[in-house]
Amino acid sequence: MTLWQGTIIILGMFAVTFGVRFVLFARADKVVMPTFIEKALKFVPVAVLTAIITPMILMPTQQIDISLSNPWLLGALAAFVVGIWRQQQLLTILVGVLVFFVAKYGFSL
Amino acid sequence: MNTMQDMRRGAVASIPMIIGGIPFGLLFGSLASSYGLSPWFAVAMSAFVFAGSAQFVALGLIALHAPIWVIVSTTFIVNLRHLLYAADLVKFVKHLPMSMRIVMGFGLTDETYAAVRPMYEVGSANEKNGHKVYLGSFLSFYVMWNVTTVLGVLSGELIPGMSEWGLEFAMVATFIGIITPYLKHKAFWLCLLSAGVSSIILSDLPNNLGLLVSAVIGVAMGFVSDSSNKTISKSEASMQEVSK
């Protein structure tokens, strides 16, 4: 790869990445979101975050693994239960991470 | 509260995801140098593009000698989900000056959206201080990503197998901590289940498309269930009116 090609690749990637992130912000003061869009957008955090982590949890090795030997699943279940029960983010993270690392490393020691 | 304190709150909320991101920055830098790319190329990409998953995809395509237009258009598709975040955040940035919106747009990643968006929900970020909280989150990720990229480039492979330690689980746990407080209505459960099931079914789609499509399915299911719920409760209410 020449310097020229490398520069074009980075400029191109910058342009499309920044473009996607900024295009709505650019006109944020003029854009009026229709009510139904606003109502739909409140589901974005749950939908996107779930779609990111579910494959990490259920297919840590690219294959579906629903078993007690899957530390990702155990840690996620623990975090989920604590999250629903106590609704404290820090506690949810700590318990989830603890269960994950005990499941991953504790049993193999 | 002053600016530094607001920025610190944004950074603190980001800590678990920063820890989860460290191995990936190192891995990105070391992969780039193992492909024989110039150190400056990897460093410049992290500095100017600042998009974790898209950068890995681009490295893979470069290694395959893919044409430049393929690399750029794939980057576009991989990052399309950020449009959803931006749409959701428009209401919080519309009063801010253009220069601030440019910086915030540049720093709009999964992690900063995940860290800051719930803070608006519970009121610890608002119209006055939200952008400072956001900047604190963005800058801490930006520093982490660029420092780890440089370290990765310099070291080749800093600590062998670090990417297999499972540090990304910190991100999974954080996301669960963000999701669970929403699950008070049936519509959000339906959103979670449909997005989760779709993301598994569609996990073979290339370029993060499975993620994007699953997110849209989750949003749509939540929205539909929400509105049909309201229609039902309205019709129930009118039934009661009639029976009176």
Q: What is the ipTM of this complex?
A: 0.87
Q: A69-93: per-residue pLDDT in tens?
A: 999 999 999 999 999 998 888 899 8
Of A11, A24, A49, the CB nearest to B90: A24
Question: Who contacts B184 (Cβ-Cβ below 8 Å, separation ≥6)?
Answer: none
- Nearest residue of chain B to residue A12 (CA atoms): B72
Residue B240: pLDDT over 60:
no
With helix as H, strand as E and coil as C, how does chain B read? CCHHHHHHHHHHHHHHHHHHHHHHHHHHHHHHHHCCCCHHHHHHHHHHCCCHHHHHHHHHHHHCCCCHHHHHHHHHHHCCCHHHHHHHHHHHHCCCCHHHHHHHHHCCCHHHHHHHHHHHHHCCCCCCCHHHHHHHHHHHHHHHHHHHHHHHHHHCCCCCCHHHCCCCHHHHHHHHHHHHHHCCCHHHHHHHHHHHHHHHHCCCCCCCHHHHHHHHHHHHHHHHHHHHHHHHHHHHHHHHHHHC
Residue A18: pLDDT over 70:
yes
Q: What does the mean pLDDT of chain A come to?
A: 90
Q: B65-115: per-residue pLDDT in tens?
A: 888 988 998 888 888 889 989 999 999 999 999 999 999 999 999 889 989
Domain boundaries, chain B: 3-167, 183-244
Nearest to B198 by CA among B210, B190, B188: B210
Contact B98, A36 (CB under 8 A): no
Residue B243: pLDDT over 50:
no
Whole-number pLDDT of residue B202? 93
Mutate to test the interface with A, among B103, B176, B183, B217 (most CBs of A within 10 A): B176
Whole-number pLDDT of residue A34? 87
Residues of chain A with Cβ-Cβ distance to B93 below 8 Å are: 25, 28
Rounded to a whole number of angstroms, the distance from the CA of B163 to the nearest CA of chain A is 13
Which pLDDT band holds residue B35 (cuts at 50, 70, 90)? confident
B180-203 in b/e form (b: 16+ CB < 10 A) is bbbbeeebbbbbbebbbbbbbebb
What is d(CA B121, CA B91) in angstroms, rounded to the nearest whole number?
12
Residue with tokens 């709009």: B108
pTM, two decimal places = 0.81
Residue with tokens 């750029």: B72
Rounded to a whole number of angstroms, the distance from the CA of B3 to the nearest CA of chain A is 22
Q: Select the highest-mean-pLDDT range: A29-38, B101-110, B121-130, B171-180.
A: B101-110
Q: At A86, is the secondary structure helix, strand, or coil? A: helix
Which pLDDT band holds residue A8 (cuts at 50, 70, 90)? very high
Residues of chain B with Cβ-Cβ distance to A29 below 8 Å are: 94-95
Give me B234's structure tokens.
Answer: 């309205």
Give me A62's structure tokens.
Answer: 């690219």
Which pLDDT band holds residue B244 (cuts at 50, 70, 90)? very low
What is d(CA A12, CA A3) in angstroms, rounded to the nearest whole number?
14
